[in-house]
Copies of this chain bind each other. A is one copy, B any other.
């Protein structure tokens, strides 16, 4: 039995997870960052609360896994995108309060580990989760092990899909996440609304209270031409990046996660599968990577963090 902690930019969640990946108890609290010492103490108290909620003593727990929105190395957090932690020895700080072995993983990696053992990747050997969110991230399970390169591999959001295209936050032009992330989809939707004042996109956005990643799909389901065009173009860019990843790594299954992946199948997953099947190199030898939705939703982070000790 392990504890999994999902460290997010706004919330901290901890769960006690059994060896089949079931969350026996989970607790959460909002992140209020003061300093690394207090942060580690909060994590330890969350872990204790999860054990108490499940009625399991620390002696029954092998290790604590933590998913971090950034890069890690051993027991250290190298940096995170949203929390001011740079080169912090989290394991050492944590063990002052709760003496259990600590394993750290990137959050996209933890999602992949969770899906690999308990979700869309069960039974595979090579498995990739691509998460469509603010950016595009990926976790890679290759030959049954988590693959992290020098520590931050899987930066799939920063492969090229449009030469000399949109400037990315990373400094490169034409990166996939400028076309395929939820952020990009919202931007594309806003541009279509501006170009088509009569589009149903306006009504749908008003109903939702804002433009979000669901807006174009909801308007497309009602037959709106501008929305259908937004969706088709978005899927075309998704297919470009997915085809690249599959040509390079040819996993058994590639799962799509993040809010956008929940879009109606006929508008996202099925046209994506069709486009990739038409262009992927493996079709010459009948080797097709299956493209599916991730299954665990928000629990993937806790479950994957708790299972890090099986793949690191």
Contacts and interface: CB of A to CB of B under 8 A. Distances in A.
Contacts of A151: 250, 285, 287
A245 B289 CA distance: 19
Contact of A285 (B71, B162, B171, B285): B71
Given A147-B142, A247-B156, A240 B163 contact: yes
A282 interface: yes
Given A143-B143, A163-B162, A281 B152 contact: yes
A285 B170 CA distance: 12
Contact of A247 (B155, B162, B285): B155
Contacts of A138: 248
Nearest to A138: B248
Contact of A248 (B150, B153, B171, B240): B153
B244 A150 contact: no
B279 A156 contact: no
A172 B287 contact: no
Nearest to A236: B163
Interface string A271-297: 000000011011011010100000000
B244 A160 contact: yes
Given A161-B160, A163-B163, A248 B284 contact: no
A126 B143 contact: no
Contacts of A117: none
Interface in A136-186: 138, 142-143, 145, 147-156, 158-163, 170-172
B279 A155 contact: no
Nearest to A250: B149
A247 B155 CA distance: 5
A252 B149 CA distance: 7
A153 B285 contact: no
A159 B245 CA distance: 8
Interface string A57-71: 000000000000001
Interface in A107-152: 126, 138, 142-143, 145, 147-152
Contacts of A143: 142-143, 145, 147
A249 interface: yes
A79 B285 contact: yes
A250 B152 contact: yes
Interface in A178-198: none
11 contacts: A79-B285, A152-B285, A153-B248, A156-B247, A156-B248, A158-B281, A160-B240, A163-B163, A171-B278, A172-B281, A245-B248
Which 10 residue pairs are nearest across A and B when measured between Cβ atoms?
A149-B250, A153-B250, A159-B244, A155-B281, A155-B247, A158-B247, A150-B287, A158-B281, A172-B279, A150-B250
